[in-house]
């Protein structure tokens, strides 16, 4: 009995410490984004807000084109976010694929235009939290 309790306690304490660390990273990342936003000029803030609105508009446009099958995938709570995305992408029509491709190209251009307005320090800050997202995604792709 004692042989079983020790590993369980070790596993639980490790799990708790890891979950606390991940929430600290999220808080730190949120603070970095907040400080970055405060460092922007009014014009830069407007441009960044426009990027966010463009992203929301695309999401709304793509969601309005969803079929019943696609809506069922989106609302399937039994799938992880990654599984939902993969299942959804496999059902996209050619028009939906084109919408997504065009949006990606527009966003890349707009982000580059935005980054052109940033100082070297601001670029470093921006890339520090935007690259974390990209590295996380790339790591997930390699894992599977």
Q: Compute the distance between CA of residue 11 and CA of residue 13 in angstroms, rounded to an integer.
A: 6
Residue 137 has pLDDT above 50, yes or no: no
pLDDT (tens digit, 9 = 90+) per residue, 63-108?
A: 999 999 999 999 999 999 999 999 999 999 999 999 999 999 999 9
Predicted confidence (pLDDT) per residue in 28-51, tens digit: 778 888 888 888 899 999 999 999
Nearest CA to 96 among 84, 134, 104, 56?
104
Ordered by start, the domain boundaries in the chain are 1-39, 41-118
In sequence order, what E strands does the chain have? none
pTM score = 0.65
Distance, CA of 64 to CA of 71 (rounded, Å): 10
Q: Is 125:35 a contact under the CB 8 Å cutoff? A: yes
């Amino acid at each position: 009995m004692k042989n079983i309790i020790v590993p369980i306690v070790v596993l639980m304490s490790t799990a708790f410490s890891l979950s606390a660390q991940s929430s600290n990273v999220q808080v730190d990342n949120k603070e970095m984004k907040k400080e970055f936003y405060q460092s922007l000029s009014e014009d830069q803030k407007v441009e960044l807000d426009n990027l966010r609105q463009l992203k929301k508009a695309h999401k709304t446009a793509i969601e309005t084109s969803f079929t019943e099958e696609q809506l069922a995938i989106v609302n399937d709570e039994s799938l992880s976010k990654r599984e939902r995305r993969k299942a959804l992408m496999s059902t996209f029509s050619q028009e939906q694929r084109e919408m997504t491709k065009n949006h990606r190209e527009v966003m890349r251009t707009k982000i580059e235009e935005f980054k052109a307005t940033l100082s070297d320090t601001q670029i470093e800050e921006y890339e520090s939290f935007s690259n974390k997202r990209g590295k996380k995604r790339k790591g997930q792709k390699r894992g599977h």
